[in-house]
Chains A and B, each alone.
Chain A
């Protein structure tokens, strides 16, 4: 079906064209990875000016429906999400706004088996080894956050020898071991804590804390599971999102 631009409507031409092209992608008329027609072709197809086409395409790129490849052309994005905004975030800043005010203290770095619901969370069999890392975040020598990280051993066997106090696990994955992070899920809840966490965070018996569970994927593989407990103090958990740059 060929949709045409209506010149009777007051809506701007480029916005109409944007909607038409967007529908082509959503209806899979233009499939993911496909190269879209050139600006000239689009001008002729819809009988509009070059500027109108350019503005419509730019808006689709900005919203993540299309990707431009220098010298090659414009393609339908392979992972666009039809609802909601496409945002980018910075992995380092997923937890706190400024992590330089915290000092970190390594409480444990060892290998164990996934007991409880860990094998389900990490999507591995119960007889696979995992690396367990426990780090306490302190601000002005007062404990604030307790971080427990679980990594399937075969994802990165050498992680056990790494300094995880001064480097983030995600940075090590990305920069040293070429494990590209493609997706992060975050879950938040308010919980009462077990004895062990209470001691580590230096808080009273019945205090509440925020639990943040973070599942980190590379492709479809869970490469890291973080459990963070943050007590009720002046520090805040922080996640920044930013509209994808043009």
Chain B
């Protein structure tokens, strides 16, 4: 399947994505997103920022959703275990206007390490694309880091290239 295409055939270079260290605040991450994607109108999919440690090891990724989630006031976070009837949620509509205003400014000072999705799953550049697809589907990953020689971070696999490679096979007559 998929023509035996390998990860290295479809991956993107890491410098397509902005880099930040884990001690940056969410606010600084927002500025990076604006400067790298929004002001330059470079609409990559997904819009993600790569988070590194002080030795330039990849720690994780931060997407727009992670940033917004990090700015959401804590009282809005749904209780994780309790059963909440659907109709109760509508009561929140009165706070929409102030949702991301007061508390969020304070939350924006938190370091990105608190909101990033840690990089736990990797593919090697010589792995088949199908392996990348499997990991992305099952662990709900927006981007998947590619490594070489077990540790050197060399690229990023995105859903769009994975989709393209696999769908090509499916629709081929």
Complex partner residue of A132 from B18, B21, B28, CB under 8 angstroms: B21
Query: Of B53-61, B99-107, B138-146, B159-167, which binds chain A?
Result: B53-61
Decide if A112 touches B35 in the complex (CB within 8 Å): no
Tell me, yes or no, whether B132 is within 8 Å of chain A by CB.
Answer: no
The number of residues on chain A lying at the interface, defined by a beta carbon within 8 Å of a beta carbon of chain B, is 18
Tell me, yes or no, whether A182 is within 8 Å of chain B by CB.
Answer: no
Decide yes or no: A129 and B18 within 8 Å by CB, A112-B24, A113-B32, A113-B36 being known contacts: yes
Decide if A113 touches B18 in the complex (CB within 8 Å): yes
List residues of B (9-45) whose CB comes within 8 Å of A's CBs. Answer: 15, 18-21, 23-24, 28, 31-32, 35-36, 39-40, 42
List residues of B (53-106) whose CB comes within 8 Å of A's CBs. Answer: 53-56
A109 to chain B, nearest CB (A): 6
List residues of A (51-75) whose CB comes within 8 Å of B's CBs. Answer: none
Tell me, yes or no, whether A115 is within 8 Å of chain B by CB.
Answer: yes
The number of residues on chain B lying at the interface, defined by a beta carbon within 8 Å of a beta carbon of chain A, is 20
Decide yes or no: A110 and B18 within 8 Å by CB, A127-B36, A127-B40 being known contacts: no
Tell me, yes or no, whether A107 is within 8 Å of chain B by CB.
Answer: yes
List residues of A (88-127) whose CB comes within 8 Å of B's CBs. Answer: 107-113, 115, 119, 125-127
Complex partner residue of B56 from A107, A109, A113, CB under 8 angstroms: A109
Decide if B24 touches A110 in the complex (CB within 8 Å): no
A195 to chain B, nearest CB (A): 11
Decide if B21 touches A112 in the complex (CB within 8 Å): yes
| Least CB separation from A107: chain B residue | B54
Complex partner residue of B54 from A109, A115, A153, CB under 8 angstroms: A109
Chain A residues, Cβ within 8 Å of B19: 110-113, 129
| Least CB separation from A126: chain B residue | B35
Tell me, yes or no, whether A134 is within 8 Å of chain B by CB.
Answer: yes
Chain A residues, Cβ within 8 Å of B42: 127
Tell me, yes or no, whether A160 is within 8 Å of chain B by CB.
Answer: yes
Apart from A112-B20, A112-B24, A113-B20, what 11 extra A-B contacts exist at CB < 8 Å? Answer: A108-B54, A109-B54, A109-B55, A111-B52, A115-B24, A126-B36, A126-B39, A127-B42, A129-B15, A153-B15, A196-B23
